[in-house]
Amino acid sequence: MQLTNPSEHTVLFKIKTTAPKKYCVRPNSGVLSPNSKVDIAITPQPVHVDNTEKHKHKFMVQSVIAPEGKTNIDQVWKEISPDQLMDYKLKCVFESPRGANQNDSGDTAAPTEIIKKRAPAEDAKLLTKDAEG
């Protein structure tokens, strides 16, 4: 996944998931300079996949314009009001590759599964309130 900051402002971002033990997201937070991009790697962890939950995993990209003069990013996230946050939600599903080995229950082990974004755009774009309108 690639995040893009199309604005003239520095933007902070965080990526959260409903299944944090099932995915490794790197980097899961950071700072995007104006008009810059960052590649995000989302890797499934080798765990058993429960058929009842394999379509319920979600990711959320949160972003906020970095306040001028603030250097402690952790403190900025603690102090930010919810109306300043911008969220982009992604749903994902597991798809077994054709011919993959399946276990007794018919599930495929996580290392051979593929994560697929189900979102209208290929890339999650960070949009600032200035850029939106």
Residue 69, pLDDT score: 87
- pLDDT for 102: 52
The pair of three-digit structure tokens given for residue 69, joined into one six-digit string: 């003069």
Segments forming the whole domain that contains residue 39: 2-132
Helix (H) or strand (E) holding 132: helix 129-132
Q: How many domains does the chain have?
A: 1
pLDDT at 70: 86
- Provide the CATH number for the domain around residue 116: 2.60.40.10
Contact 42, 59 (CB under 8 A): yes
Q: What was the pLDDT predicted at 113?
A: 38
Peptide bond just before 6 cis, omega within 30 deg = no
Distances (CA, A) of 28 to 12, 56, 110: 11, 20, 21
Question: Nearest-CA neighbor of 41 among 65, 15, 66, 69?
Answer: 15
Return all residues near 133 (Cβ < 8 A) that are at least 6 apart. none
Structure confidence at residue 49 (pLDDT): 66
The parts of the chain modelled with pLDDT lower than 50 are 103-133
Tokens 């890797």: give the residue.
43
Structure-block tokens of residue 87: 């969220």
Confidence (pLDDT) at 40: 97
Check if the beta carbon of residue 47 is closer than 8 Å to that of residue 21.
yes
